[in-house]
Amino acid sequence: AQSVAQPEDQVNVAEGNPLTVKCTYSVSGNPYLFWYVQYPNRGLQFLLKYITGDNLVKGSYGFEAEFNKSQTSFHLKKPSALVSDSALYFCAVISSGSARQLTFGSGTQLTVLP
Amino acid sequence: DADVTQTPRNRITKTGKRIMLECSQTKGHDRMYWYRQDPGLGLRLIYYSFDVKDINKGEISDGYSVSRQAQAKFSLSLESAIPNQTALYFCATRDTRESPYNEQFFGPGTRLTVL
């Protein structure tokens, strides 16, 4: 079975400061990892993914994420947060050893304070 | 994503009523999915379809049924709605013809309230 944990329900950060949203995973095969963002009253939007190669993945809106196999983590980062980054963020995983369905974490509400 | 549309966007209904939520896509993707979102629980998979002839149960299929009427259409039915089916429902699509690890694209969601 595969699973994703987002240990923080809520993350608050001041505008201009770096932000990190944490994600850890558990899979039986190779992990393929995704980050999605959900703005109020909207569907989920794809931000970035790790499939293979460089452990640092760059995505939309200045976000990046670092894949760490030894720590089974895929934390989302941004060097300088914007108020407009305030949203609900979901981490998700597909395993090569599973039925190749996405499993989502419970989500982290990011609030960037002006 | 405008390429994945859901109707209705909001629906209020009563316990015991039959409800159908519809999803259409113009992306030409092979796979389609239905999820429900509840606060603090993330997204949970209800049903998914590899193609018109291939329907599969997800994590929480009890009380729901689906129909893949065409490559582009995937509907979700609640045969007899109950209050704990009150949730935000999302349709999603994914193109797995060249890679099994492509991202999913989501519709805008349907907010369903069962009284």
Please report, in tens digits, the pLDDT of each residue of chain B (115 residues total): 569 999 999 999 999 999 999 999 999 999 999 999 998 788 999 999 998 889 999 989 999 999 999 999 999 999 999 999 999 999 999 998 888 888 899 999 999 999 9
B 27-66 residues inside an 8 A Cβ radius of A: 40-45, 48, 58
Angle (CA) A67-A95-A22 rounded to 5° is 35
For residue A88, give both structure tokens. Answer: 């609900």
Q: Please check the confidence at residue A52 and state whether its pLDDT lies above 60.
A: yes
Q: CA A92 to CA A41: how far, in whole Å?
A: 20
Whether the CB of B104 is below 8 Å from some CB of chain A: the reply is yes
pLDDT per position as a tens digit, A68-114? 999 999 999 999 999 999 999 999 998 765 556 788 999 999 999 99
Q: Do B101 and A94 touch (CB under 8 A)?
A: yes
Instruction: Determine whether B97 is exposed, middle or buried from the number of CB atoms within 10 Å of its CB (0-12, 13-18, 19+).
Output: exposed
Whether the Cβ atoms of residue A21 and residue A74 lie closer than 8 Å to each other: no
Q: CA B104 to CA B4: how far, in whole Å?
A: 11
Q: Residue B52's closest CA among B75, B22, B20, B77?
A: B75
* Phi, psi dihedrals of residue A45, rounded to the nearest 5°: -115, 135
Q: CA B106 to CA B102: how far, in whole Å?
A: 13
Whether the CB of B1 is below 8 Å from some CB of chain A: the reply is yes
Antiparallel, parallel or unpaired: β A108-113 and A10-14 = parallel
Whether the Cβ atoms of residue A36 and residue B94 lie closer than 8 Å to each other: no
Q: CA B85 to CA B40: how far, in whole Å?
A: 15
Q: Do A43 and B96 touch (CB under 8 A)?
A: no
User: What is the DSSP secondary structure assignment for residue B103, as one 8-state letter?
Assistant: P
Q: Which residues pair with B31 in a beta bridge?
A: B94
Q: CA B114 to CA B99: how far, in whole Å?
A: 39
Strand intervals (E) in chain A: 3-5, 10-14, 19-21, 24-26, 31-38, 44-50, 56-58, 64-68, 73-78, 87-95, 103-104, 108-113
